[in-house]
Structure 1
Amino acid sequence: MSPYESCPRGLPSPLFGGELGFTLLELVVVLVVLGIMAALTTGIILNPIRAYEDQARRAQLVAEADTALTRMVRELRHALPNSVRVAGGGQYLEFIPTVDGGRYRAAQDPNNAAIEDILDFTQSDSSFDVVGGLQTGQAQAGDAVVIYNTTATGPVTNAYRGDNREAITTVGSRIQLAAAKRFPHPSLIAQRFEVVPSSGPVTFYCNNGQLRRHTGYGYAVNQPTGFTGEGSLLAEHVSVCQMDYVAGNQERSGVVTLRLGLSDQGESITLLYQAHVINAP
């Protein structure tokens, strides 16, 4: 038979080298094998990628929580003695920051009585000399002087109530007060006075999964806890927030304990920081 003649049905044609292609069964087997290999390869490739993404997410949460807590601790270390208070089940922490301080003149030199200005605690006084200069030089008009703050809740020597706090109009070697004032009690430690900013108290609070810092709302006898979204955002994805304060005594400083937990896409971290707060007014 000539190679150009038709071959019987079902027999290979010598013209095309005897190739007939894959059968359906062979194609199915190949697809199954390829699927198994793809599944194995996908697991090998994706698992390290997922692990890296989870680790990166945890690292981001740790960095966010650490930044927020570090800022809180730094500010708390400069809090006015005995001004820290906690409310709302540990969700709201308030304190009065300080920006400066120094020593007031408590006694006159008989040879310089005409030019020296003491702070008189027996009557209202509107000015006093600063002995040795201000501590940081950051005090400015509009800030306030606080002397001998002993409590954040009591009726006397309480800067929140204002009986030991008065605004400043002139800053320098002599402090001029906005109004004549009789401070209730002199400082028992080196005639100390503190300067607090015109913005007033600061509150750190947790609400709706966020940690925020709020200030500028003014002084209040009772600690405010109604903030919802006001102030600067410090951290998001907050799942754990607990702030506690243990007041100090004559032998040790007060201690603020801050516990902050963040959660995002199945990853969670919790950090605990503590800050020592000076309680000697």
Structure 2
Amino acid sequence: MRQLGFTLIEMILTIIVGSIIVLGIAGFVELGASGYADTVDRQRLQTQARFVLEKMSREVRHSVPNSIESDSDCLSFYPIDYSGFYSVSAADNLSLSFIVGNETPPSDYSGYSMIINPSRQSDLTDHGIALSGASNTITLSEPLDSESIANRHYIYSELVTYCFDSSASRITREVNSNTVQVADSVEAATFNYSEPTLQRGGIVHIGLTLSNNGESSNFQQDVQVLNVP
């Protein structure tokens, strides 16, 4: 009577062929998973870059005109907290009244400062008018050095600074000594500010290079800042 079964050679060949098929499938799955992971990392990098550029652009556009300073690694400015119009008493030129154009002005102006017609960031630190209480009328110690042709004023408080930390490959945002990370995997970053001219407002140029797994992506954006009216 004939017995059915597999010979040793047939079993070995079957194992070899099966192993080859399994390795092929595993390689295909690994390649697909690796490609998916690279795509996710690339998308995360681009999303992060778009977030940082959009956040910085919005803040810079809403900063006090001419309050921006930059070097190769940092960009600093004063955001506008409130703004509106003012009038100065014609009698002594020392009584200043102002109207905040925001729908919900603060009930207490303590901690805020007001500036009229600034030309550089140092004007906000050296010549800003400190506010206090809830009054919209200020008695000046001396007449204003210059006035806005549109009678515009800007109320501000905290200096905002974005910096590129090359040692940690990140971009940070600092306000009142509180530093938070807004982007990582940053290979290089540059911030340049071109001061306004008679033909145009100021322009902030932001350049970012983000890298991941040996792949680098470059991002460039120019932000126009209006001059003081």
Matches within 5 A, 1:124-139: 125=94, 127-130=95-98, 133-136=99-102, 137-139=104-106
Question: Aligned AA for 1:145?
Answer: M
Q: Any conservation in 1 of the 2:84–2:100 contact (CA below 8 Å)? A: yes
The TM-score with structure 2 as length reference comes to 0.85
Question: Aligned AA for 1:57?
Answer: D
Aligned to 1:252: 200
The TM-score with structure 1 as length reference comes to 0.71
Could you tell me how far apart the structure 2 residues matched to 1:148 and 1:34 are? 80
Question: Aligned AA for 2:162?
Answer: F
Q: Any conservation in 1 of the 2:117–2:147 contact (CA below 8 Å)? A: yes
2:167 is equivalent to residue 182 of structure 1: no
* Partner SS, residue 231 of structure 1: strand
Q: Any conservation in 2 of the 1:169–1:176 contact (CA below 8 Å)? A: no
Q: Of residues 101, 107, 110 in structure 2, which corresponds to 1:141?
A: 110
Question: Aligned AA for 2:111?
Answer: G
Matches within 5 A, 1:73-222: 73-87=57-71, 90-106=72-88, 108=90, 120=93, 125=94, 127-130=95-98, 133-136=99-102, 137-139=104-106, 140-152=109-121, 158-160=123-125, 162=126, 164-172=127-135, 174-176=136-138, 180-182=140-142, 184-197=144-157, 200-207=158-165, 208-217=168-177
Question: Aligned AA for 1:70?
Answer: E
**Shift of the alpha carbon at 1:214?**
0.5
Question: Aligned AA for 1:151?
Answer: R
User: What 5-or-longer segments of structure 2 have no aligned partner?
Assistant: none
Query: What are the superposed Cα offsets for residues 165-218 of structure 1, whole Å, 9 maximum, x if unpaired?
Result: 12101345x2336xx433552224222221112xx211001112111110115x
Could you tell me how far apart the structure 2 residues matched to 1:187 and 1:47 are? 66
Percent sequence identity over matched residues? Answer: 22
* Partner SS, residue 271 of structure 1: strand
Question: Aligned AA for 1:251?
Answer: Q
**Shift of the alpha carbon at 1:106?**
3.2
**Shift of the alpha carbon at 1:20?**
6.0
* Length, aligned pairs only: 224
User: What 5-or-longer segments of structure 1 have no aligned partner?
Assistant: 1-13, 218-229
Could you tell me how far apart the structure 2 residues matched to 1:238 and 1:263 are? 6
**Shift of the alpha carbon at 1:144?**
0.3
Larger Rg computed on CA atoms: 1
Aligned to 1:222: none
Q: Any conservation in 2 of the 1:98–1:195 contact (CA below 8 Å)? A: yes
Q: Any conservation in 2 of the 1:80–1:97 contact (CA below 8 Å)? A: yes
2:19 is equivalent to residue 35 of structure 1: yes
Could you tell me how far apart the structure 2 residues matched to 1:95 and 1:85 are? 6
Question: Aligned AA for 1:278?
Answer: L
More strand by percentage: 2
Aligned to 2:219: 271
